[in-house]
Amino acid sequence: MSMHVQTKSRRLTGLDATRALAILGMFAAHIFDLFALDNSGILSPTFTGATANGRASVLFMVLAGVSLTLFARSLQRKGLSRKASVGVLVRRALVIAVLGLLIGPVNESIANILVHYGLLFLLLIPALYLPARALWVLSVFWLVIAPLAWRPLAAAEAAQSLGHNPTFTDFAHPGLLLADLLVTGYYPLLIWIGFGLLGVAVGKLPLSQKKTVAWMGAGAVVIAALSLLIGWLKILPWITAVGTVAGIPRSQIFTAMVTGRSPSGNLDRFLSESSYIWLPTAHSGSMIFTIHAAACALALLAILLLVTPHLGYAGALLAAAGRAPLTLYIGHLVLLPLLQVGLSAWVQWWTLCVLMLLAALILHHSGKAGPLEAGVRYLSVLPTDEKNSDPK
């Protein structure tokens, strides 16, 4: 969902296409049920609940790091000093966070990611100036260790949650707001910073080189598969305990362990158990799912980087949609409450897809940025930046 500035010749269409796919994943996770009764009356995860849920948002955060790195590089190419570049990045991060605070109350049925996204941009700025090798070590360390540190904090501070999307009135309770943003909210930054760090590390790779991207994708696929397998193998002996502690009937446990919830509730009460770290569960914040979701994001990015240039006009449209992520994301937040009045989930889905296609057609043929992307660019890149550029 980044709004980085690059010329057409330097844009990675695969990156834009991956961002568009993440948007579609968000659409699905916000429209379709995560679980349903099958023909035999057994509760099972839906396709959305088993795939997009918990992974689309992680993909957004990883892409945030990648795009931030590329944007910072574009500022350097324009001749801006480090001080001027940091100023642009800080303003951009704050504009996105403020936009998130404004739009949050519009649709409380969806956990708005924009405030966390803007804050992530802000927190990642120092990482841009670290060596690539140090970044890889730091990101892997963070993705493994942060969930272990988060779990006891989340269990102890479970009641310290806003219960709604962050907005300006929450500054009246700064401690509660901070706890929600870092630990107890839907996107706890204590963990999610790791996804951004991984993205910054990936952004330093030569992503235009097919061999590098192929190796990254192959490694990511292996890690994604192994982590999910290990998670299930490690948690199987605890299935009865999970149900007992979380208060979920055995018939619903599998669904709850895949999607993070069931008709009887979620797995939050299991946080106090050490085996929580092995839950292969979306949005759980467990160590194993954090690693798995990060690997899924890299695998999907690698696939799209390799495939999109060969998709012709379809690939160009997908990439064009990915250049207006902020517009599409906020647009669907505003439209969904209206579409959900009397319309089926599939009608909502196809309506958003058609609107996304129309936006892609306009952006592709006009060569312009989305309206909100242009607005963020205007507010963050000020004329004074050029005066602070390095002398030529």
Q: Token pair 């948007």 is at which residue?
A: 23
Which of these three, 293, 308, 323, is where a domain ends? 308
- Whether 30 has a pLDDT exceeding 70, the answer reads yes
CA 74 to CA 348: how far, in whole Å? 38
Domain membership flag for residue 157: yes
The model's confidence at residue 243, banded by pLDDT at 50, 70 and 90, is confident
Are residues 221 and 200 located together in one domain of the fold? Answer: no
Are residues 156 and 256 located together in one domain of the fold? Answer: no
- Whether 187 has a pLDDT exceeding 80, the answer reads yes
pLDDT value of position 240:
87
Bridge partners, 186 (sequence order)? none
What confidence tens digit (pLDDT) does each residue in 193-220 have?
A: 999 999 999 999 999 999 999 999 999 9
CA 57 to CA 73: how far, in whole Å? 25
Are residues 74 and 191 located together in one domain of the fold? Answer: yes
The answer to whether the beta carbons of residues 119 and 189 sit under 8 Å apart is: yes
CA 99 to CA 109: how far, in whole Å? 18
Rg (CA), the chain: 21
Are residues 89 and 176 located together in one domain of the fold? Answer: yes
pLDDT value of position 42:
83
pLDDT value of position 264:
87
Domain membership flag for residue 151: yes
Domain membership flag for residue 114: yes
From the list 209, 238, 182, 198, the residue with the least C-alpha distance to 66 is 198
Are residues 83 and 173 located together in one domain of the fold? Answer: yes
Are residues 118 and 195 located together in one domain of the fold? Answer: yes
Are residues 145 and 256 located together in one domain of the fold? Answer: no
Which of these three, 148, 173, 204, is where a domain ends? 204
The residue range of the domain holding 296 is: 39-44+217-308
Which of these three, 204, 237, 254, is where a domain ends? 204
What confidence tens digit (pLDDT) does each residue in 139-157 have?
A: 999 999 999 999 999 988 8
What is the pTM assigned to this prediction? 0.91
CA 392 to CA 77: how far, in whole Å? 12
Number of domains in the chain: 2
Are residues 137 and 161 located together in one domain of the fold? Answer: yes
- Whether 388 has a pLDDT exceeding 70, the answer reads no
pLDDT value of position 7:
37
Question: Of 17-21, 135-139, 384-388, which range is least confident?
Answer: 384-388
CA 42 to CA 292: how far, in whole Å? 27
CA 105 to CA 166: how far, in whole Å? 8
DSSP-derived 3-state class of residue 262: strand
Are residues 193 and 254 located together in one domain of the fold? Answer: no
- Whether 226 has a pLDDT exceeding 50, the answer reads yes
- Packing angle of the helix pair 189-203, 56-77 (nearest 10 deg): 50
- Please report, as a single letter, which amino acid is at residue 74: S
Domain membership flag for residue 93: yes
